[in-house]
Amino acid sequence: MNMRRPLPLSTDDFKSGRFEALADHVRAEWPFNNRPTRESVLDIVAYCLGYSDYSDARSQATEVAVVSNDYVIDELDISNRFESLGFAPKEPELGSPERPYSMDEFFSCRFMRTNIASDKFVESWPINMVGRWNYSGSPVDFDRDFIADHEELFSRLWMFDSREYSGFQEVTKNNKSAASVAASLIVGLSVETISGMKISDVIDAEIAEALFQDVMPLLIGGIFTVSINDIVVLTNQTGNSMRDLWEMPRNEASFPSLYQHMRKVMTECLLERRLLDLFMVSREENGWYTEMRGFNSALPCMEVEVPEGKFLMQVDRNYLECEYFRSYMCLAQLQDTTGKVIARFGGTYLAGPANKDIAGFDMISALDEVCDDDVEVGDMVLSLIQMDLMSDVDDEFFDDEEVELIEKSSINANLIFCDGNLLIVSAWERSPESEKGCGIILLNYCVHALKKKFRRNMSVACILDPAQYGLSSQKVEVLEEQRRKDMGKIHAHLMNLEFTDFVPRVYAAGRVHSDGPSTFSKYCGEAYIGDESCR
């Protein structure tokens, strides 16, 4: 990696004396015998930052931010330029008796560097003193269009609990949302009463402002987690370098226009929304809860006349690196006699080895290549199988303080695929105008069609998660009770599939976030276990 372009400097770097202060630091900390003069060190620093001399650096400084996709600051390149000036004493050749190979050098990325002494010296330079545009911390003023683009993010953060993950590990969690506060204040109210209330009936001005102050730093952090294209927009629009923006205090004094606009959104829009919006999911403009890609015109589509009207289905092969499995994306619709879609289905058909002892971890890897949602369903399947295996284990197998988990290698793919392949339900719903039960009718048609196409039995896996309920609904007792009843109804319909001749098992469970040692948390993060009310 090289610093392909000079470090962009601003005229304020020189007006404020920051460049000279950087040079003074370099001269004061000079570790070698040939200490340069003050005039010489200005040229040395300018050369190391990519300029021919101090005068060249001043002439190329700009009033506003200059951002380039080619711009990368790299201390290794600065160190190489410093060494080429000849100020640092030469070191013995790497690998010689005077300087043998060192594992410490190798793992600290110094293995390919020729002069460790100069390298360590350059690493101590406070480069962040220059290359900034708003060092004084003047308020950041975003334009109106930019702010409007982030209204949705602000609304989501203000209304709902937010979680941030690094890989599978949750790193931060914000429980201070309108949903969590409102849930604690409406205890004992009926669904009918809640349905007639607005958010402002529960969240008063003082609570709203407190939530607002908690959310705004999260919003600013989300705005600054950007791509290179967004960096160009941010720096050109605000006149700040990204280093400036990250180091600005995330308060109203630093971002007045952003705070003013989002406070208006909260007061005039969010507080006036119905209270149920905090707990229930609204349908999209197209009338459905879930997004689902349409049929691929380049692929054949099955069409079958059925009593309800017409059944349509399309199957598309997914490429998998895992050699033990084959995967197919399935899309289906059920239309009435007028051609209107009354039910939709989206899922994955996973074909696995029937007689090979393949570990369950390989199945998770295969699902990971298909879709994140399918990984969750697959993890749930393995969790339910593990429960069956553990029920046959002697109680002495368990530790008094923490339940020992059966190794994933014990739950091999043969346990899942010995009787057939696996149909994973990812998106499945009926239109609000259609009659109840048409969703399970559509799924039944899908199972029959796949059996006919692939000539093998199949199990069906589905997380019981009614689309109309948000995660925050679980915090409200009456809504959670209603959600569990709806889950039970879905579960009862799914269990009817087991009475067909070619569905040996249905895996269905509610989504429950486990606080303790979850089934496969040590392998694949957040696991899901069965809901007791739906078994």
Contact 185, 278 (CB under 8 A): no
Using N-to-C axis directions, what is the helix angle for 75-84 and 116-123, rounded to 10°? 130
- From the CA atom positions of the chain, what is the Rg in Å? 31
Q: What is the pLDDT of residue 95?
A: 59
- CA angle 80/83/86 to nearest 5° reads 155
Q: What is the pTM of this model?
A: 0.70
CA distance 29 to 371: 54
CA distance 129 to 56: 19
Transcribe 342-374 into DSSP letters: EEEEEEEEEE--SSS--BHHHHHHHHHHH-HHH
Transcribe 385-401 into DSSP letters: HHHHHHHTS-GGGS-SS
CA 70 from chain centre, in angstroms, equals 27
Backbone angles phi, psi at 511, to 5 degrees: -90, 115
Using DSSP's 3-state secondary structure scheme, residue 461 falls into strand
Q: What is the pLDDT of residue 73?
A: 56
Residues in the chain, total: 535
Contact 194, 132 (CB under 8 A): no
Q: pLDDT under 70 in the chain at which residues?
A: 1-4, 64-76, 91-115, 135-136, 163-175, 228, 371-375, 389-411, 511-535
Q: What is the pLDDT of residue 2?
A: 43
Q: What is the pLDDT of residue 525?
A: 41
Transcribe 300-340 into DSSP letters: --EEEEETTEEEEEEEEEEP-S-TT-EEEEEEEEEE-TTS-
pLDDT in tens, 143-152: 888 899 999 9
pLDDT in tens, 232-267: 778 777 777 777 888 889 999 999 999 999 999 999
Amino acid, single-letter form, for residue 226: V
Q: What is the pLDDT of residue 91?
A: 66
Which tokens hold the place of 328? 């197919």
Q: Among candidates 353, 467, 479, 368, which has minimal Cα distance to 420? A: 353
Transcribe 411-430 into DSSP letters: SBTHHHHSS-EEEEEEEEEE
